[in-house]
Structure 1
Amino acid sequence: MQPPQWYDPSRPVPDLVTPIPGPQAKLVLERDTAVTSPSLPRAYPMAPRRGYGLALEDVDGNLFLDFNAGIAVNSTGHAHPTVVRAVQEQAADLLHYSASDFYLPVYSRMAEALAATAPMDGPVRVFLTNSGAEAVEGALKLARYATGRQYAISFYGAFHGRTYGAVSLTASKAKYHKGFGPLLPGILRAPYAPVPVSYLEDVLFRYEVDPTEVAAVFVEPVQGEGGFIVPPPGWLADLREVCDRYGILLVADEVQSGMGRTGRMWAVEHFGVAPDILTSAKGIASGLPLGAILARQELMETWSAGAHGSTYGGSPVPCAAGLATLQVIAEEELLANATVRGAALTAGLRELAGRYPRMVRDVRGLGLMIGVEFPDGRLANAVQDAAFHRGLLVLEAGENAIRMSPPLVVSAAEVATALRLFGAAVADVASAEGLA
C-alpha cells in the first residue's frame, strides 16, 4: 500500500501553518470542554486529525513530529500500511464476535504469536484484554487465584492503571487515589530502584506481612509514569530471588516498556529475569485497543471456565492489528532500529545536558524509552510546551521528567530533527529562567 493521499513526503515535518492552537483546534477545545469529563488529563491543546509515520496533522493542517506516539501506543507509527491493510481486511469479514463465549480464530492466532515472544521458560498461555489496566486487573486476579494468597506488593512511582485494582497498585501520584478510598485491600508498597530489594525482607516482611501470604509482586522493568527509571544491574534479579524464596509470583508490567520499546521485545529481557506473569498493551496493536496477560501454563490452568472473561477483549479487528504489528516489528527489524536510534537520541540528549547542566539533570533509558529529568515539574512542563509550539510532541513523565517514546520506525533524520527542536526548547526556557 502507498502512503495516504493527503500525505506529501516533500513537506517538511514539522510544518506549522497557523498559530498554536489554530482556529479549528480552538473550536474542538471549546466543544470538548463543554461535554467531556474534566478528569481527562490533557497535556497541551493538540487536536489531531490524521497521521502517517511520525507525522501527525492537526485539524488546522499543522504538521507535528510525534515523539510520544500517543503515549508509546503507535509502535509502528501512524497508519502503517501493513497494519491498515490488516484492519481493513478483518473489518470487511468480521467486526466482532466474543472470544469469551466462542472460538474466535484470530484470537488464538494472536495468543499463539504472543506466546512465542514470551520471556519465560516453558509453555505459556495468553488472555487478551481491551487495555493495560484490564490486563493488570486480570493478572492480580490470577495471582490471587493461583496462589490462594491475598496480598500483593507494588512500588512507589509505579503506574499500573486507573481501574480499582490497578489504581490500588498504582503509586505514581497521590491524585490518582484522592477521593476513591477505600481502595483494594491487601496492597503493600516498597521503594523502587535503586533502593535495594532487601527492603522487602528488612521492612515489609518484618513489620507488615508474612511473605507466605503474598501472592505477587508487580513491577515495571523500567518504570514509566514514575519518570522512565531504569533499575541498576542485579536489582530485578534480586527481586526474582526473593520471590522464589517465598513462593511469590513475579508480575512484569510491560504495558509501556514492552513490544520492542526498549530494543528487546520485552524490557525484562535486558536483565536476564523471567517473570511468572507479564502484562502488555499500548504498542501491542499499533493504536487499536488490545492488551494481554501472558502467564506460565501451570498458573493459567489453575482457573476454570467463567473465572475470568471479557466481551470485547481480543476482538477481531484489534487482533488483526496486533498480528500485523508483530509482523512489522519482525520484518522491518524494529528492535534493532529502536536500539540504534535510541542510542543516537540518548547521546544527543546527554550532549544537550552537558550544555545546560542547570536545566537538564539526567538523561536515562533503554532503546526508545528515554527520560529527560529537569530540576522541577514546572520547568519540565515549560520545555514540553515550548517543544509543542515548535511542532515537536513530547510528554511529561513523573514529577519532573519528559519522556521520549517515538514510534519504533523513527529514522535518523527524525532523531536529528527532534534533537534540534528539543534543544531549542530547552535553550529558550533556560534563557527565560536565567539557567542558561
Structure 2
Amino acid sequence: MTSINTASPDTPSLDTGRPVPDVRTELPGPLAREILAADTAITSPSLPRAYPLAPRRASGCVIEDVDGNLFLDFNAGIAVNSTGHTHPAVVAAVQAQAAELLHYSASDFYLPVYSQTCAALAATAPMPGPVRVFLTNSGAEAVDGALKLVRHATGRPYVISFFGAFHGRTYGAVTLTASKAKYHKGFGPLVPGVLHAPYAWSVRDPETGARSHDEDLTFDFLENTLFRHQVDPSEVAAVFVEPIQGEGGYLVPPQGWMRRLRELCDRHGILLVADEVQSGMGRTGAMWAIEHAGVAPDVLISAKGLASGLPLGAFIARAELMESWGAGAHGSTYGGSPVPCAAALATLEVIRDEGLLDNAAKVGAVLTEGLRDLAARHPSVVTDVRGVGLMIGVEFRTAAQSAAVQQGCFERGLLVLECGETTVRVSPPLVITADQARTALDILGDVLAGIPA
C-alpha cells in the first residue's frame, strides 16, 4: 500500500513518486466493493451517495482509497476539509487535547477551550460591536439554534428564507431549506411560520440553459406580495440567507443585492442571518463571504470547515441578541466538546498563518479563468461558470450532462460534486496549489470533450 507523506500539507506528495491522481483499479476496486456490500446491508438507504469512493487515508488535497488508488480531492468532503486532509497542526492539536480531556459538557460546566474557541471566532465576526458565540455539533444544529434565538430576541413568530436555499436537515433547518422538494416530502407538517422568497436569479431558459440576474424579483416579491398578502413585516423576526447559495447551485447574487436586503431588514426591524456553513471559513478568499458585499449581519452561522473535519458548528450574534435569553434557554451536551474545539483553534491559526485566504483568492482565479476557457470551448455543454475564490459552480445545459461530468471526473481520479439541478461545484481545500488546479483543469477538459451536446 502506498503511503502519503504529510510533511508538507499544502503540497502533498507520495514517497513512491506516483502522480496524483493515479487510478490503478476499476472503480470501485475489489476492496471497495466489499465495503459497499457491507454498507448496503446495514446503513440507512436515505444516505445520498454520489459515487463509490471508499477512502482509507488522505493528506492535503490527496485521498487514497482502500484499493490504493489516488484521487485529487476537489470537493473537500463537501467543503469541510478547509485546511486540507490531516493537516499536521490540526492533527497535533487533536492528539494533544484527546490525551488530556475527551469530553465534558460545556452546557453545565466551564471548559477553557470552549470559551477560547468562542473568542477566536468572535475575533473574525463581520459585524461591529461586541458579539457572543454558541457552539454546536453541526451546521443544521447551528441553524436551529439561530432560529430559536431570533424568535426569542424579537418576539416575532415568522422568518423568511429563499427558494434554492439549503440550511440543513433537522426540522427547523429543513423547513428553511427550499433547494429540493424531496427534502420536505413525507416529513410534513414542518415548522410553522417559515416563508420563502425568490433569490437573486431568474428561472433558467429552458432552451439555452442560460441564467440571468434579476435582483428586483426578490424585493418586488417581498414588498408587494409577501408583506402585502401573507405577513406584516412587523411580525417577521429574521431573514435567513446564504451569501452564496451552496446546494442551490453555487449561485452568486449580483453586487448590491445583499446591501438592498440589509436595507430592507433595517427598514422593517428584521434581523439578517447569514448562513455561512458552506461559504465561510475562507472559502471565498475572505473569512466570510458576506464581507465581499460590505454588509454586516446580525447573526452568522458557521460549520463545515470550522474544525477541518471534526464535528463543530457555531452561531455568532450581536451581544444584545444573545443576552436576551437566560440560562437553560438553549444548550447542547456535545456542542463545543474539547477535541473539536482544539481542531477549530488550530484551523483558525492555520488559515491565518499560512495565508490561506490569499491562496483561495489566487488559486480560485486560476480555476475560474481555466473553467471559463473550457466553457468557451464547449458552449453546447457548459452554460455558466460562476463563483468567488474556491467556491465555483460550473453549470451545464442538462442534469444528465452534470451527472456525466461528476462520474467522468471520478473515473479519472478527480473528486467533484454536483449541486443544484445542473451544476458541478468546484470546492477544493484551501491549501490547493496552482499546479493541482491545472491538473484538475486538464482532467475536466478531457471529460468535457466526451460529453455529448
Q: State the TM-score, normalized to the length of structure 1.
A: 0.97
Q: Equivalents in 1 of 2:320, 2:169: separation in Å? A: 29
**1:162-182 CA distance string (max 9 Å, x none):** 000000000000000000000
Aligned residue for 1:378?
Answer: 400
Q: Equivalents in 2 of 1:104, 1:21: separation in Å? A: 44
Q: Equivalents in 1 of 2:128, 2:291: separation in Å? A: 12
Aligned residue for 2:210?
Answer: none
Query: Does the 8 Å CA contact 1:65/1:392 hold for their aligned counterparts?
Result: yes
**1:109-143 CA distance string (max 9 Å, x none):** 00000000000000010000000000000000000
In structure 1, give the amino acid aligned to 2:92: R
Q: Equivalents in 2 of 1:145, 1:49: separation in Å? A: 45
In structure 1, give the amino acid aligned to 2:164: G
Percent identity between the aligned chains? 71
Structural mapping, 1:17-416, within 5 Å: 17-193=24-200, 194-196=214-216, 197-198=218-219, 199-416=221-438
Q: State the TM-score, normalized to the length of structure 2.
A: 0.94
Query: Does the 8 Å CA contact 2:363/2:432 hold for their aligned counterparts?
Result: yes
Q: Equivalents in 1 of 2:352, 2:287: separation in Å? A: 10
Query: Does the 8 Å CA contact 1:284/1:290 hold for their aligned counterparts?
Result: yes
Aligned residue for 2:203?
Answer: none
Q: Equivalents in 2 of 1:242, 1:59: separation in Å? A: 52
Q: Which sections of structure 2, spanning at least 5 residues, go unmatched? A: 1-5, 201-213
Query: Could you tell me which of 2, 7, 30 is aligned with 1:2?
Result: 7
**1:152-194 CA distance string (max 9 Å, x none):** 0000000000000000000000000000000000010000013
In structure 2, give the amino acid aligned to 1:119: P
Give, in angstroms, the shift of residue 293 of structure 1: 0.4
Please say if 1:417 is aligned against 2:424: no
Q: Equivalents in 1 of 2:402, 2:7: separation in Å? A: 38
Query: Does the 8 Å CA contact 1:7/1:52 hold for their aligned counterparts?
Result: no
In structure 2, give the amino acid aligned to 1:318: P
Q: Equivalents in 2 of 1:22, 1:238: separation in Å? A: 52
Give, in angstroms, the shift of residue 427 of structure 1: 1.0
**1:249-278 CA distance string (max 9 Å, x none):** 000000000000000000000000000000
In structure 2, give the amino acid aligned to 1:101: D
Query: Does the 8 Å CA contact 2:215/2:254 hold for their aligned counterparts?
Result: no
| Local SS of the residue matching 2:134 | strand
Aligned residue for 1:427?
Answer: 449
Query: Does the 8 Å CA contact 2:247/2:419 hold for their aligned counterparts?
Result: yes
Q: Which sections of structure 1, spanning at least 5 residues, go unmatched? A: none
Which consecutive segments of 4 or more residues in structure 1 shift more than 3 A? 1-7
**1:215-240 CA distance string (max 9 Å, x none):** 00000000000100000011000000
Give, in angstroms, the shift of residue 2 of structure 1: 3.2
| Local SS of the residue matching 2:133 | strand
In structure 1, give the amino acid aligned to 2:120: A
Query: Does the 8 Å CA contact 1:76/1:407 hold for their aligned counterparts?
Result: yes
| Local SS of the residue matching 2:382 | coil
**1:334-362 CA distance string (max 9 Å, x none):** 00000000000000000000000000000
Q: Equivalents in 2 of 1:235, 1:293: separation in Å? A: 23
**1:65-99 CA distance string (max 9 Å, x none):** 00000000000000000000000000000000100
Q: Equivalents in 1 of 2:64, 2:426: separation in Å? A: 19
| Local SS of the residue matching 1:361 | strand
Give, in angstroms, the shift of residue 10 of structure 1: 2.4
Give, in angstroms, the shift of residue 423 of structure 1: 1.1
Q: Equivalents in 2 of 1:412, 1:247: separation in Å? A: 45
In structure 1, give the amino acid aligned to 2:77: G
Q: Equivalents in 2 of 1:169, 1:181: separation in Å? A: 13
In structure 1, give the amino acid aligned to 2:231: V
| Local SS of the residue matching 1:283 | helix
Q: Equivalents in 2 of 1:8, 1:164: separation in Å? A: 47
Residues matched between the structures, number: 431
CA distance 1:9–1:186, change in 2 (3 Å): farther
In structure 2, give the amino acid aligned to 1:56: I
